[in-house]
Amino acid sequence: MKINKRIVILLAIALIFVMFSPILEYHSSAEEDKVLVIYTAIEDDYGENERALDMLISHFTKDVTLISSNEVTELDLIDVTHLFYYGLTSTELPSAFETLFDEYEGAFIAIGYNSEQLGNQFSFMEPQHERGIDQIMLTKKPEQLLEDVPQVIIDMTLKEGVDILIEGKKSGESASYPVMIQKNNHYFYSIDTIWADEVVLFGEVLHDIFGVTHEDEHPAYIRLEDVHPLVDPKNVEEIANVLKEKEIPYMIAVIPVYTDPKTGEEFHFSDSPKLLKLLKKMQKNGASIVLHGYTHQFRSSETGEGFEFWDVESNTPIYAPADVSITLKEEDDFDSNADYELYLNELKAFEKQYIDEKLTKGIQELVNYGLYPLAFEAPHYTMSQNGYKVASEYFSTYVGQTQLSDRDWEIMDSTPYITSPSFLNGMELLPETIGYVDPDNAQAIPEMMDHAERMSQTKDGVIAGFYHPYLGVEGFEQLINEMEKQPHLDWINLKEKDVWVKADKVDIYTENGAIKVDVNRSKMAFSSWGFLSYHYFQWSTVLAWGLSIIGTVAVLVFIICTFVNYNRRKTAG
């Protein structure tokens, strides 16, 4: 039989296409923007400002590398799709910067100082003196205005062909000044601080730079905070009923152990059976459990008030037992850099062991009671960078704000949208963005709504806050009603997200909106007398009730039989 050569060639091409198209499709779908952030700071180690920028960028891609301007080379630019230069301080850059970017063709975003030293990349503008503003707005959408944001910008003169994307003003003045500009795929942002309340509009522009479009929806959550074994179930239940009626999924930040600061006595959920039963019911009816530390205290502080993963008295990570006060040594105290690094590694090893024990106990104890944590929130949002790395081994999801510096716990911030910054080591951050109801502030809820409106200035800005149940249901209803007025809310349900939690003998994950749990209960029960005694009490209670019911039935049967026999004798007589 004679075979047509054209048919053979076409069949061969089709076979090759079928064989390799899945591979090509896989590579296409796996493509992700690659970002390089070059930063110039007083110190080469990146700190809070760089981490704040990391949070902002990591909303768009997880492939983010940060490197000092003193260390970057041409090799670092290979395959980079988006290049950021972040000038935190005005200084002379290495001479290599005159030609370093000559071959780079991707998007280039410069922030802050030293843009004039990036070769001729930003020759379309000339930085001038600094100027103060307190309002910023999108040029094409002036209704998207952020007020009361005092900032210092780098004033500039622009050449032809430059678009102004964001502009700023000073209250009481009519003149406006460029804050962010664009020419082709080059962008300059004239503010050197990256804090959540101030960068909402910058974050909105980044959507266009990365070519990312979102539906006009705002992820949202409400978190019931500091629920520990001594919390009054009445307030919690009333709030849970409101949320169930409104069909709103929510989070409960749970502390497994309450420690009395005066006596040191510990209280567990097994000591509060009514509250435990309620929490399990809430978990079934829309709540997701968030582990909020194990005791939420350190040294003699009260649970819910104290810190747990930060030594606030020394303002350091947990580097020693609670009964030991330490003074950190400096590099100059050591004979060599190697000795200093060994010292730091020993401190971090202690911190890791401490956090490992706390997180393992917290997860196991909640699981033992039938409560399944799906995320983690550090007490008072305080945790070191090493601590986040440890936590990432247990949790896929972090809730709240983040501590951005190991120098001072008060250096923390949020971000306008969901992100996965590199310093969280793979954890997804569900940011808290609007604060909480402070009982000492009569304007707390209006101020929270002001923050909500600010976060809504970017397409998928998160609107999320928390509430302490002890404040009662009335204040909660007022808060939740105000939150519901915000347009395009999309309430976050952790059970519908792809989350996992892991600890010794425990694996928790979500699948199709349900919680899946793989627990070695026999081994876990025998790992703690508290776990074993809880289950013993549960079984003994069931057994006691069972025996009681059997005894009652036996008595009833005996009475009935006696009555029947009596009637038979009476009839026979």
- Starting at the edge strand found earlier in the chain, the sheet holding 506-511 runs 500-503, 506-511, 514-519
The per-residue pLDDT for range 239-255, each reduced to its tens digit, is 999 999 999 999 999 99
Q: Is pLDDT above 90 for 267?
A: yes
What is the second-level CATH architecture of the domain 32-209? 3-Layer(aba) Sandwich (3.40)
The per-residue pLDDT for range 468-483, each reduced to its tens digit, is 999 999 999 999 999 9
The per-residue pLDDT for range 526-550, each reduced to its tens digit, is 665 565 555 545 544 455 555 666 7
If we measure between CA atoms, which residue out of 312, 53, 313, 99 comes closest to residue 192? 53
pLDDT at 548: 61
Domain ranges of the chain: 1-31, 32-209, 218-525, 529-573
Contacts of 294 (CB under 8 A, 6+ apart): 255, 256, 257, 308, 358, 359, 361, 362, 365
**Backbone φ, ψ for residue 184 (5° rounding):** 55, -125
More confident residue, 131 or 263: 131
Residue recorded with tokens 């694996």: 507
What percentage of the chain carries pLDDT values higher than 70?
86
Q: Is pLDDT above 70 for 524?
A: no
pLDDT at 29: 32
| Cα 243 to Cα 287: distance, rounded to the nearest angstrom | 9
Q: Is pLDDT above 50 for 7?
A: no
If we measure between CA atoms, which residue out of 249, 281, 282 comes closest to residue 496? 249
| Cα 185 to Cα 208: distance, rounded to the nearest angstrom | 11
The per-residue pLDDT for range 406-456, each reduced to its tens digit, is 999 999 999 999 999 999 999 999 999 999 999 999 999 999 999 999 999
pLDDT band of residue 337 (cuts 50, 70, 90) is: very high
Average pLDDT, integer, range 26-48: 76
pLDDT at 573: 56
The per-residue pLDDT for range 303-312, each reduced to its tens digit, is 777 899 999 9
What percentage of the chain carries pLDDT values higher than 90?
75
pLDDT at 535: 53
Quick one: tokens of 268? 């567990």
Q: Is pLDDT above 90 for 104?
A: yes
pLDDT at 25: 31
Residues in the chain: 573
- Element containing residue 151 per DSSP (H, E): strand 145-158
More confident residue, 548 or 350: 350
Q: Is pLDDT above 70 for 18?
A: no
Q: Is pLDDT above 50 for 151?
A: yes
CATH for 218-525 is 3.20.20.370
Do the Cβ atoms of 170 and 133 come closer than 8 Å?
A: yes
Contacts of 100 (CB under 8 A, 6+ apart): 72, 74, 77, 119
pLDDT band of residue 11 (cuts 50, 70, 90) is: very low
The per-residue pLDDT for range 208-233, each reduced to its tens digit, is 999 998 778 999 999 999 999 999 99
pLDDT band of residue 205 (cuts 50, 70, 90) is: very high
pTM: 0.87
